[in-house]
A and B are shown apart, each in its own frame.
Chain A
Amino acid sequence: MSGGTRLENANPGIFQRSGERLLTASEEDEDVHDPIDDREIFDLIRSINDPEHPLSLEELNVVEQIRVKVNDAESTVGVEFTPTIPHCSMATLIGLSIKVKLLRSLPDRFKIDVHITPGTHASEEAVNKQLADKERVAAALENASLLEVVNQCLSTRSI
């Protein structure tokens, strides 16, 4: 993806990573019901690698905690992500990586909706429709080469 080919967005703005989340005493108490919150979802996706740059989605401001909405009681998670440029051809792949990360991490009861932040991409509607189509997502994940690219985005980078 990178390497010899010309980068789509050669000089993206870089943002600071958020600090580690502080654990409270009640979170460590197994007897206290501790619903999944926005910050926990954000922590799952913020370190996903950008397919093009050696940076995380958080560092590129593609994902932000304020664009994560979780409702534990109703088992819903909504994530909006912001491509770095309006014609980013990687938008579907980035959205797929976020979706796969959450599908793998969260209990099965959760309904996961991943969308582009409104007004930030030229093909917003088409990308959103593709990401919402679970049949096409299932078929994509049976494609070995695509799955490998997704897994690379999801692999933990040593910093």
Chain B
Amino acid sequence: MKEALSLVQRLNAHPDSRCWFVSWSPNGALLASCGGDKAIRIWGREGDSWICKSVLQDGHQRTVRKVAWSPCGNYLASASFDATTCIWKKKNDDFESLTVLEGHENEVKCVAWAPSGNLLATCSRDKSVWVWEVDEEDEYECVTVVNSHTQDVKHVVWHPTQELLASASYDNNICLYKEEDDDWECRATLQGHTSTVWSLCFDATGQRLASCSDDRTVRIWKEYPAESGQDLSWKCICTLSGYHGRTVYDVSWCRLTGALATACGDDAVRVFKDDETTNPDEPVFSLAAQVNKAHSQDVNCVSWHPKEAGLLASCSDNGEIAIWRFQEDK
């Protein structure tokens, strides 16, 4: 395998703990990480290296599972096992806790902002997905609770441009939601994975969705014109199987290059590229890079930098963050 992924830096981000998730700010200037130590750390570039700019503590009583930046980059939301979601407001170089969203019965697993920044989605082990509306006064109000999944909901993600929400669950399914008469409804259930779906990512256009699972596969779904006029129509057009040795915990689709990165329980980071000459209804993805011992333990998250093509962040159960550079073979 050609060395297409090279290490830029390793950060001991959450010592003696897990690093569960990393998220780039919209302009790529900051990286937020969270973990089992209940803390959130904000990393910024200084010269050639990334350093810790601030530590957000005391916001949560238990593990912080995921973090998400608002599209404007001024707010950070954190989802925690303590059943709350905290909203942090950026003030100069620091962050202050603005509000705490309560309501889920138990662990909040994920949080995501809609592209407009006016809506926020959270999901939980209580099997529900909540949609929150944000007004000009920074007030948050829950507008819908959807119970389309029959099990623990692992991940929520918004379409890059539309108000379309997707969720992934322990019940092996993916649900897609749209607003209908002030209510959010599940408009499609994507079935195919044979075990827990851990994460989802739309491509740059939002016409395709990648999902990854405990069944050790990645599936690519594509939007088709709705047949009945009612439900949304998404079909699985490709399954990447045989590449991952254990559970695939995360998938990230680069909006600049189209490269698809995966985080796996076998400690490896992999990058796939699709051959653009193939039939768009039957795309062929091939492995473009693989780092076998990317981390010494499970890789939990991968995230492409939003502005700098090829820059990738990953994090692991060993508490580390790694920054990688992906260079394609020309």
A129 at the interface (CB under 8 A from B): yes
When chains A and B are docked, how far (Å) is the Cα of A82 from the Cα of B65?
33
Determine the chain A residues whose CB is within 8 A of the CB of B63 once the complex forms: 138-139, 142
B62 touches A108 (CB 8 A): no
Using C-beta atoms within 8 Å of the partner chain, give the interface range for chain B: 20 to 34
Determine the chain B residues whose CB is within 8 A of the CB of A108 once the complex forms: 296-297, 317-318
Q: Beta-carbon contacts of A96-109 to B below 8 Å, as 1s and 0s? A: 00000000000011
Nearest A-chain residue to B62, judged by Cβ = A142
A139 touches B81 (CB 8 A): yes
B196 touches A133 (CB 8 A): yes
Main secondary structure of the interface of A (DSSP, over half): helix
B297 touches A135 (CB 8 A): no
Q: Could you say which of A109, A129, A138, A142 contacts B195, with CB atoms under 8 Å apart? A: A129
A129 touches B297 (CB 8 A): no
B158 at the interface (CB under 8 A from A): no
Known: A129-B196, A142-B62. A136 touches B298 (CB 8 A): no
Q: Could you say which of A109, A135, A136 contacts B296, with CB atoms under 8 Å apart? A: A109
Q: Could you say which of A109, A111, A133 contacts B170, with CB atoms under 8 Å apart? A: A133
B66 vs chain A, min Cβ distance (A): 11
Nearest B-chain residue to A109, judged by Cβ = B296
Tell me the B residues contacting A by CB distance below 8 Å.
Answer: 18, 36, 62-63, 65, 81, 106-107, 109, 125, 152, 154, 170, 195-196, 214, 246-247, 265-266, 296-298, 317-318
Tell me the A residues contacting B by CB distance below 8 Å.
Answer: 108-109, 111, 129, 132-136, 138-139, 142
